[in-house]
């Protein structure tokens, strides 16, 4: 059983700072990339929809934009969380003492 090097308490908890922060940043970056993807998707959808006439073109752009935005944000968040996980595991202090607030690595 691990104990705090500062006060020798056994009341420890895992910290997931890297995952939380990197996951949010990744989600935001992915969302921004998703907007660019959405514009591309809208254009592609509109071109594909032209075959089905004006209504098909409108529906195609909406579907393309929605897919591009969703995918970008989801992928960004997952990549960010993966990076954060490895930060938590390899770089950051990953254990926090509940009693004295000391953080350290195990």
Helix (H, G, I), strand (E, B) or coil at 28: helix
Size of the chain in residues: 106
Among 2, 6, 52, 86, binds Zn ion (CB under 5 A): 6
How far apart CA 95 and CA 11 sit, in angstroms, is 10
Among 4, 12, 38, 46, binds Zn ion (CB under 5 A): 4
Residue 2 in contact with Zn ion, rule: CB under 5 A = no
Q: Which residues pair with 103 in a beta bridge?
A: 96
Nearest CB to Zn ion, comparing residues 3 and 40: 3
Q: Give residues in contact with Zn ion (CB under 5 A).
A: 4, 6-7, 9, 97, 99-100, 102
């Amino acid at each position: 059983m691990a104990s705090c090097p500062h006060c020798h308490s056994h009341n420890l908890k895992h910290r997931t700072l890297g995952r939380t922060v990197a996951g949010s940043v990744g989600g935001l970056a992915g969302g921004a990339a998703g907007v660019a993807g959405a514009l591309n998707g809208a254009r592609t959808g509109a071109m594909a929809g032209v075959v089905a006439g004006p209504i098909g073109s409108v529906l195609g752009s909406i579907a393309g934009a929605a897919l591009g935005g969703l995918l970008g944000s989801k992928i960004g968040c997952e990549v960010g969380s993966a990076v954060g996980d490895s930060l938590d595991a390899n770089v950051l202090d990953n254990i926090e003492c509940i009693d004295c607030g000391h953080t350290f690595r195990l």
